[in-house]
Amino acid sequence: MKRWIVDRYDVEAARSLASRAKISDLTAFLLIKRGISEKETAEAFLNANLNEHLRKPESLPGCVAVAEKLYKAIKNQQKIVIYGDYDVDGITGTVILYHTVKDLGGNADYYVPSRLDEGYGLNSEAVRKLAAGGASVIVTVDCGIGSVAEAETAKEYGVELLITDHHTLGNQLPDAAAICHADLPAAEKYPFPHLCGAAVALKVSWAVGQLANNGLGQPVSSRFRERLKEMLGLAALGTVADFVPLRDENRALVRGGLPFLAPKFASGGLKNLLEKAHYSSSNKSGTKNPMSAEFAAFQIAPRINAVGRLGQAGLAVELLLSSDNNRTKQIAEDIEVYNEERKRIEKEIYKEAEKQIEERFEPQSAPAFVLAGDWHRGVIGIVAGRLADKYHRPVILLGRDKMGLNPAVGSARSVADFNLYAAIEACGEYLIRFGGHAGAAGVTLAVENIDAFRSAFCRYVAERITPEERIAELHIEGVFPLGAFTVQTVREILSLAPFGCENPSPIFVAEGVTVQNVRPMGRDGSHFSADFFQSGGQHGIVIRGIAFNRRDWVELMQPYDTPMDIAFKARISDYSGKAELDILDWRRNDNG
């Protein structure tokens, strides 16, 4: 059971905004809840577009320096290696920069480290290997900002290192030839430090395109402009996959970039992947089905992430770069197999982690969970996220080998506003290395230090998260009758998309409803479906509700014949085109 928090809001302020911005009361109400109360900011949010809201690359600290050195290397035919991280953000950013170098006639290659054998980020052994292979320039994507020792290795081997990253700055910056990062000290502080790695790569590519066509600040060539469409789609995918705040220019980037992920614009390999994800440009009711942030985040991204998690991230890069349809079809099929394997491993780890929590901890009172097992290091991050959501507290899962000879490698996930990076940094004496940001991080430590690290980490969390804050919360936008959720109203709610970090899909409550036709749903019956009735009008209102992966609710609700309150998100059914509800939670209505 979760705590339902029904946030208060200023009714008069919402009505005033609706009048000034010429929008409906409902839209104004939802904007007020998101801290938007002025006409100008409301219009900027609702109409966020690339032309007005995507800042020029020259304003991003270090972008010009990286772009100039990269363009010089392209013109001089130096061998350039794009060194990307193995997640969706790193892979899409790698493809963006690789296309840029190749399109401008440069000598390009790419390198994505094995998550299992090399771990996260730049590593000195890879730098030495790339130097031996003739690389004279390495450009990092979504990594490198903490690679102080690796930068020294690059200098030692005569490699020019260019860093593009978005992760938290450490106490010491690497001694690289140039660094592009939104938080770098600059004459004018960059106003939005939440770009993902692929978005940073996009800004660098944009600047390089300008340099190749009359100089910085000038339009890019028509050919490069066409390529930018594909890059925008990839940057949008990287943005939603990395769960950075979907506001300001991230919102504009995702709104403007998502259409370029659809089959009409997507590369051949991405089209093959969309087929595997069962994407259709129109739904079962015959209406258009535009690419959504949710589909990108929960259907496309997990498939790309799966190969990275299982040590085959290079396949995803090849999929997005190759023009050989037979090859991309085969890769898409392979990725689907990897994704199914990832799901299987994930279920096993989740089950074992749950057992460990029940047997070794007090689930209700523990401030955080630091769990260790002989677990697949590529999948533990997903499980950590699921456990953090369930228990509403920070979770770190550590994968160790059975012999205990190698360091344990872990993935950490946070909740709410808790700064995970700061917590891990405070326990740094027990770690070999760590990196990440406030919401997610990675750690490496000696097996014999696990217990000491667990104690220090849990102690730090306990001092900053109260027992009350460890109960999962649902932040409710408001209480409304079911009759309010017409198709027109739901479409209005969906106009606030793309939803994601810092712009969550609105959650509502309906009180005093009764349930009918409770049944399992899906091919394997693992989902829940029912009809919810509320009196009102001549015959009352009935709306279908569904809940994914909640088969257990079927047995709980079937005999339930008294009124209940339901918390839900509103959606339009892909099959019927009618309004329906995503049920998130429910409880007894003791007032009848």
Helices in 497-569 by DSSP H: which ranges?
552-557
Domains: count for the chain = 3
Contact at 8 Å (CB) between 127 and 157? Answer: yes
- Closest to 363 measured CA to CA, from 208, 513, 471: 471
Checking if the pLDDT of 592 tops 60, the result is no
User: Please, is 352 exposed, middle or buried when counting C-beta atoms within 10 Å of its C-beta (0-12, 13-18, 19+)?
Assistant: middle
Checking if the pLDDT of 357 tops 70, the result is yes
Query: Are 466 and 530 found together in one domain?
Result: no
Last residue of a domain, one of 207, 234, 263: 263
Contact at 8 Å (CB) between 320 and 269? Answer: yes
User: Please, is 493 exposed, middle or buried when counting C-beta atoms within 10 Å of its C-beta (0-12, 13-18, 19+)?
Assistant: buried
- Closest to 541 measured CA to CA, from 554, 526, 555, 531: 531
pLDDT tier at 508, thresholds 50, 70, 90: very high
Query: Are 87 and 234 found together in one domain?
Result: yes
Structure tokens that stand for 171 in this block: 């106490």
- Closest to 117 measured CA to CA, from 413, 440, 409: 409
**Number of neighbours of residue 483 by Cβ within 10 angstroms:** 14
Most confident of 35-44, 123-132, 271-280: 123-132
- Residue 44 has, within 13 A of its CA and on its CB side, a CA count of 13
Checking if the pLDDT of 37 tops 70, the result is yes
User: Please, is 260 exposed, middle or buried when counting C-beta atoms within 10 Å of its C-beta (0-12, 13-18, 19+)?
Assistant: buried
Q: What pLDDT shows up at residue 281?
A: 75
Query: Are 69 and 162 found together in one domain?
Result: yes
Query: Are 441 and 483 found together in one domain?
Result: no
Contact at 8 Å (CB) between 388 and 455? Answer: no
**pLDDT tens string 160-195:** 999 999 998 988 999 999 999 999 998 889 999 999
Strand partners, 141: 84, 164
Is 2 inside a domain boundary?
no
CA 411 to chain centroid: 15
Q: What pLDDT shows up at residue 454?
A: 97
Is 280 inside a domain boundary?
no
pTM: 0.87
The set of residues, in sequence order, having a beta carbon less than 8 Å from that of 559 and lying 6+ positions away, is none
Query: Are 458 and 497 found together in one domain?
Result: no
Q: What pLDDT shows up at residue 215?
A: 85
Checking if the pLDDT of 402 tops 80, the result is no
Q: What is the CATH number of the domain that holds 248?
A: 3.90.1640.30
Last residue of a domain, one of 263, 280, 311: 263
CA 271 to chain centroid: 21
**pLDDT tens string 437-453:** 888 899 999 999 999 99
Average pLDDT for residues 138-143, to the nearest whole number? Answer: 97
Average pLDDT for residues 76-96, to the nearest whole number? Answer: 97
CA 50 to chain centroid: 20
Last residue of a domain, one of 226, 248, 263: 263
Checking if the pLDDT of 140 tops 80, the result is yes
Checking if the pLDDT of 286 tops 70, the result is no
Q: How far apart are CA 40 and CA 20, in angstroms?
A: 10
Q: What pLDDT shows up at residue 410?
A: 95
Is 355 inside a domain boundary?
no
Domain extent, residue 502, equals 474-588
Provide the mean pLDDT of the chain.
92
Average pLDDT for residues 343-365, to the nearest whole number? Answer: 93
Choose the weakest-confidence range: 190-199, 303-312, 484-493, 534-543: 534-543
